[in-house]
Amino acid sequence: MIHIASLRQLLLRRVGNSWVLRHWGPRLLPRLDRQVHHWTNGRWMPSRLLAPVLILHTIRRDGTPCRTPLLTGRTATGDYIVMATNFGRTRHPAWSYHLLHNPYAAIDWHGRTLPVQAHRLSPQEQQAARPHILTWMPCFDDYAHRSQRDVRVFTLTPLPRTADASKPTSSPWTT
C-alpha cells in the first residue's frame, strides 16, 4: 500500500515535470496566484493546492516593488526556504537577483506580512538542505538538471517587527 506522502510526492513530481506546467506555469500561475491572493486578503492561492506558497516582496533595481509567489518550505528554526528554479528554465528568476542586490524583503504568509532577511545557501548548505527541499518540491533535482545552471536557494529569516508597524521602517516596499 502506497503511503499518502509518497503519493503526494509522486503527484508533485509528475505535475512539476509536465510540459503543460513548465510551459504555461511561468506565464499563468504567478498572475493567478497574485490575483487570488489579493481577492482573498492574503489567505489563499491556487498553487497552495499542491504545495506551500508565499508571496515575496522585493524591490527592483529601479526602485519599484515586485511581488512573486514562490514555493516554500519551513525549517526547524522557523526560516522559509525558497528555490530559484524558474520552472527549470535556463535563466535565474528576477527575484533572485533582487535578493542578491538587497537581502531585506517581506513575505506574505497566510494573511500575515513578515519582514525577512535573505541568505543564499552555499553549495554545502544547499546539499545539506536537499533532502528537506525534496519533501515539498520533489522535482527540484529535475529542474536543476534541466536548467543546466546552479539553482540559487535562499533562506528567508523572519526579522523582529517594529513596535508600530508590520514592516521594518527602513524598507521601501509597499503592499
Cβ atoms within 10 Å, residue 69: 23
Strands 53-59 vs 112-120: parallel, antiparallel or unpaired = unpaired
In this predicted structure, which of 79-83, 131-135, 171-175 has the lowest mean pLDDT?
Answer: 171-175
SS3 (DSSP) at 108: strand
33 by DSSP, 3-state: which?
Answer: helix
Name the pTM for this structure.
0.80
Q: Which amino acid is it at 137?
A: M
pLDDT tens for residues 18-73?
A: 777 677 777 788 888 889 888 988 888 888 877 889 999 999 989 999 999 999 99
E strands, 3-59, in order: 53-59
- Alpha helices in 62-168, H assignment, sequence order: 94-101, 123-136, 140-147
Q: What is the mean pLDDT of the chain?
A: 84
CA–CA dist 40, 30 (Å, integer): 15
CB 143 within 8 A of CB 22: no
